[in-house]
Amino acid sequence: MNNPDIESAVEPSPEVFTAEQLALHPEQVSRHAITVLKHLRRQGFEALLVGGCVRDLLLGLEPKDFDVATDALPEEVHANFRSARIIGRRFRLVHVRFGREVIEVATYRGRGEDEDAQDSTVSSSGRLLQDNVYGTRDEDAMRRDIAVNALYYDPLDGLVYDYHDGITDIRSGILRMIGEPALRFREDPVRMLRVIRFAAKLGFNIEERALESIDHLAHLVAGVPPARLFEEVLKLFQSGFGVATFEKLRQHGLFAILFPDTDRLLGTEEAEFPRTFLPLALANTDRRVQSGRPVIPPFLFAVLLWEPYRELLDEYIGRGIGEYEAIHHAAGVVIERQVGRVAVPRRYTTQVREIWEMQFFLDGMRKRHAFRLLDNRRFRAGYDFLILRATVGQASEACADWWTRIQEVDDTERRQMINSLGGPKAGKRRRRRRPRRQASNG
Ligand code: ATP
Ligand code: MG
């Protein structure tokens, strides 16, 4: 079974605009992308810019990266560039590297595709599991997801090819699926996350048909391979539009699929107050990204899973489990449940645990922990997290201020600050009382 909408439809002939009409200038395009286009053209191939870079240029935004579409086969592209690498098992793409910039070159595809599937045929939910047929540009335009993502720009000739009224949509700020939304979402449920992400980033409206389909089909995202969802979650929340994305995902039932434990708690109050930590933390993350600072994946997941972790920790402590053990187990359980849906790699979950664990010691402000915390490689992430907690009243202002100040003072004053904390003198031998443990002695 294939997508009848796509199969039977006559391939459209594109509307052609001049770059001048659309106020596009070749100097806006990365010179490396131009090199790739020129080179392929010289070999007699067709090659154009496509996707997010064309959309973003038309909106006056700076493209994240430049994608090229061509009728050259991956092997042919590969043979033409010394720095080219073929990637992907099923649908093969070519990455052409120029220093730190990578130009992604994709051969025109014939029908719909699903990046991660390995077997042929269609799954019970209608997902396309294999399709590796190369096609023409007209066919390629049909299998793209959204009209504004299916604009082809040839900066050498100064022409834009518009197959699905994408220019009209750019002007009116609308995201319209190519073909029947329900079919396109069944083929690849990640498209639901993509359309939400673009709506948040561009401030565009999603067409009504697509919104209705999302409300019916959100559950299909649960069937997407967890490794792919991990990549998508990063794109959703590292974009600098995390709050808007979060709100839209929640509104359409998609956040509940990605983060079921967190979503359940967000609907509840805590001591008669709504839970504001997550939106506040995401707003903070957005400010970071917008000022050019990175947000590392472990910090993001520490934020996204904080509520369920804290809930479980409280429950364990309430049951009389010792603090260290409660911390360890609560983190383990929450992470274990989450990675079944979104495959956060082990190297990151280890850091998520560290960030959470540090909160306990930062709150405690004990003499014997202070130096060790300051020396911890992840101290900065732990400290940033503490500040977020302080802004919603989960950590005391005095504690947050103390940790801020200690990073600003010289060594002598630092020692004084630490020595005036509770507990034995820092640097002196001390007899340590072991924290109360439950199961570890038995
Ligand atoms: P950005 O790079 O800004 O996140 P983009 O639109 O370029 O946005 P990419 O993931 O780089 O997104 O994909 C490039 C293009 O490939 C898209 O614009 C779209 O035309 C097509 N595409 C990507 N993913 C899919 C998909 N799941 N289904 C259909 N088409 C897709
Ligand atoms: Mg892109």
Residue-wise pLDDT for 285-317, tens only, equals: 999 999 999 899 999 999 999 999 999 999 999
H helix or E strand, kind and range, residue 115: none
Q: For the chain, what is the mean pLDDT?
A: 89
Pairing of strands 84-87, 93-98: antiparallel
Q: Supply the DSSP symbol for 162.
A: E
Cβ-Cβ contacts under 8 Å for 179 (sequence gap 6 or more): 3, 5, 6, 9, 142
Query: d(Cα 77, Cα 168) in Å, to the nearest integer?
Result: 33
Ligand 1 atom 7 nearest Cα = 52
Q: Count CA atoms within 13 Å of residue 272 on its CB side.
A: 0
Query: d(Cα 243, Cα 288) in Å, to the nearest integer?
Result: 13
DSSP 3-state assignment of 105?
strand
pLDDT by residue (tens digit) across 6-60?
Answer: 544 556 689 999 999 999 999 999 999 999 999 999 999 999 999 999 999 999 9
Ligand 1 atom 17 nearest Cα = 51
pLDDT at 293: 92
49 alpha carbon – ligand 2 mean position (Å): 10
Mean pLDDT to the nearest integer, 373-378: 90
pLDDT at 426: 46
Establish whether 145 is a catalytic residue. Answer: yes
Cβ-Cβ contacts under 8 Å for 274 (sequence gap 6 or more): none
Task: Give 268's pLDDT tier (boundaries 50, 70, 90).
Answer: confident
pLDDT by residue (tens digit) across 428-440?
Answer: 444 444 444 444 4
pLDDT by residue (tens digit) across 333-342?
Answer: 999 999 999 9
pLDDT at 120: 41
Q: Where are the alpha helices (DSSP H) in 365-426?
A: 367-375, 379-391, 397-406, 411-419
Query: d(Cα 234, Cα 217) in Å, to the nearest integer?
Result: 22
DSSP codes joined into one string, 181-211: HHHHHHH-THHHHHHHHHHHHHTPEEPHHHH
pLDDT at 128: 47
Long-range contacts of 393-398 (CB under 8 A, 24+ apart): 394/277, 395/359, 395/362, 395/363, 396/363
Judge whether residue 1 has pLDDT over 60: no
Judge whether residue 188 has pLDDT over 80: yes
Task: Give 366's pLDDT tier (boundaries 50, 70, 90).
Answer: confident
Task: Give 441's pLDDT tier (boundaries 50, 70, 90).
Answer: very low
Query: d(Cα 50, Cα 36) in Å, to the nearest integer?
Result: 13
Task: Give 395's pLDDT tier (boundaries 50, 70, 90).
Answer: very high
CB-defined site of ligand 1, < 6 Å: 51-52, 64-65, 67, 144-145, 149-150, 188, 190-191
Residue type, 375: D
pLDDT by residue (tens digit) across 128-164?
Answer: 444 557 899 999 999 999 999 999 999 999 999 999 9
Q: Which residue from 64, 149, 152, 229 has its CB within 8 A of the most atoms of ligand 1, so it is best to mutate?
A: 149
Task: Give 367's pLDDT tier (boundaries 50, 70, 90).
Answer: confident
- Do residues 108 and 91 touch, judged by C-beta distance below 8 A? no
Mean pLDDT to the nearest integer, 416-435: 62
Query: d(Cα 371, Cα 318) in Å, to the nearest integer?
Result: 30
Out of 131, 140, 145, 263, which one is annotated catalytic?
145
| Ligand nearest, relative to CA of residue 235 | 1
Query: d(Cα 214, Cα 175) in Å, to the nearest integer?
Result: 13
Judge whether residue 190 has pLDDT over 60: yes
Query: d(Cα 106, Cα 93) in Å, to the nearest integer?
Result: 5
| Ligand nearest, relative to CA of residue 141 | 1
DSSP 3-state assignment of 18?
strand
- Do residues 323 and 345 touch, judged by C-beta distance below 8 A? no
What the block records as the tokens of 124 is 């019970």
Instruction: Please provide residue 282's backbone torsions phi and psi, each rounded to the nearest 5 degrees.
Output: -70, -35
Question: How deeply is 231 buried, as exposed, middle or buried, from its count of CB atoms within 10 A (0-12, 13-18, 19+)?
Answer: middle
Pairing of strands 151-154, 47-50: antiparallel
